[in-house]
Amino acid sequence: MLPQPWSPALGPAPVSVTTDSSPHRSQPSQSGRRVKTVHLSAYADDRGNRVVFTGSPSKSMKFTFRGENNVAYIHPEAQAKKLLVDFNSDNGVFVLGANPRPRGFTAEVRVGQDSTVRIGDGVSATAMVIISAVEGTRVDIGDDVMFASQNQVRADDGHPIFDIHTGKRINEAHSVCIGNHTWVGFGSIVLSGVQIGEGSVIGARSLVTRDIPNNVVAVGSPAQVIRKDIAWERPHLGLTPPYYKPDASTVDTSKYWRPTDSDAEPCPAPEALPDWTQQELERMAAMPAGSQAPATAEHARSSRGTARRGAGRLWRGGRALARRVARRGSRG
């Protein structure tokens, strides 16, 4: 089982992390709870919410905390074009691994009550991926997974559906696991309870509602296997030389070339957090007091500067609108 996001066993809260201050927005939610939104930096608040991170602060990732005891573990070498993580409730866990591509990954993630979303190393996406896990479920996305555009990975349907005769829920949330080096094609959606084996390809606009084994091509709605014993590689057909790739000798082959095993569990979910998460906790605990202060102060100055520039644009825009209205009136 995953450890609790925060407990005394993890040691004292580090004194060097960013705490509630002006760079972060706080407002009441519809449920009456405080909502705190922070950009990527080491962070902890009085409700047990934390961002475990020892790298350089960044505005490309943003975290919204609506409850208590939520934790985001961000690898110090993690990068994203844009990442929005919303902790809807309590006891949520989000994990993002290392990524060498500065603009290679983008996602909007919902982490619900007692739920976990874990994204491995080197995951990429052409456009924003929607990821959702609620009601104690988890979404596990392995290493080197490649998303195209308009993709969703959902452990839940977003809203409950009931049988009118019994009153029982008929669309329960179930965990999802996508294995290492899976290619999820344009417009494809992975739904609740699905496991996809490593090395597989999900064709464009497929709706994945059942398990998919390793090293296959699956397409359709619902997705079905149409080819086994395949392997794919990342080099782009048009952008990466050689510009003709008739066989495997034209690319560097990965470790994911293996026969399809339809009888094996496609994607057994990991039982523990990655080793680097504990190392990040130890590094944060060892950080000297005030070590984050310069970055936080710079963040605050940047936020104030952005607000001033926005107010200036609004004022200039208002004057321009007034002039246009006056000109129209004079012509009339």
Q: Are 34 and 92 members of one domain?
A: yes
Q: For the chain, what is the domain count?
A: 2
Q: Are residues 286 and 312 in the same domain?
A: no
Residue 33 placed within a domain? yes
Same domain, 255 and 301: no
Is the pLDDT at 295 greater than 50? The verdict is no
Which pLDDT belongs to residue 287?
77
Per-residue pLDDT for 159 more than 50? yes
Backbone φ, ψ for residue 162 (5° rounding): -120, 150
Domain for residue 3, yes or no? no
In this structure, the answer to whether residues 241 and 318 fall within a common structural domain is no
Same domain, 53 and 113: yes
pTM across the whole model: 0.81
Strand pairing report for 207-208 and 189-190: parallel
Same domain, 60 and 187: yes
Count of Cβ atoms closer than 10 Å to residue 198 Cβ: 21
Q: Are residues 323 and 305 located together in one domain of the fold?
A: yes
pLDDT at 10: 42
CATH number of the domain to which 275 belongs:
2.160.10.10
What is the tally of helices (H) and strands (E) in the chain? Answer: 2, 23
Say yes or no to pLDDT of 189 above 50.
Answer: yes
Return the pLDDT at 247: 97
Task: Determine, yes or no, domain membership for 1.
Answer: no
Average pLDDT, the chain: 85
Mind giving me the DSSP string for 261-322? -TTS-S-PPPSS--HHHHHHHHHHHHSPTTTTHHHHHHHHHHHHHHHHHHHHHHHHHHHHHH
Mean predicted confidence (pLDDT) in 140-151: 97
Same domain? For 172 and 313 the reply is no
- Under the banding of pLDDT at 50, 70 and 90, the label for residue 101 is confident
Containing structural domain, residue 149: 8-292
Q: Are residues 313 and 279 in the same domain?
A: no
- Do 36 and 181 lie in one domain? The reply is yes
Alpha-carbon distance 47 to 66, whole Å? 10
The pLDDT assigned to 21 comes to: 44
Work out the percent of the chain whose per-residue pLDDT is above 70. 77
Model confidence pLDDT, tens digit, residues 31-46 = 667 899 999 999 999 9
Distance CA 128, CA 155 (A): 17
Query: Would you place residue 307 in the very low, low, confident or very high pLDDT band (cuts 50, 70, 90)?
Result: very low
Residues 281 and 316 in one domain: no
In a domain, 148, yes or no: yes
Using the predicted structure, report yes or no on whether residue 20 has a pLDDT greater than 90. no
For the annotated catalytic residues, the residue numbers are 159
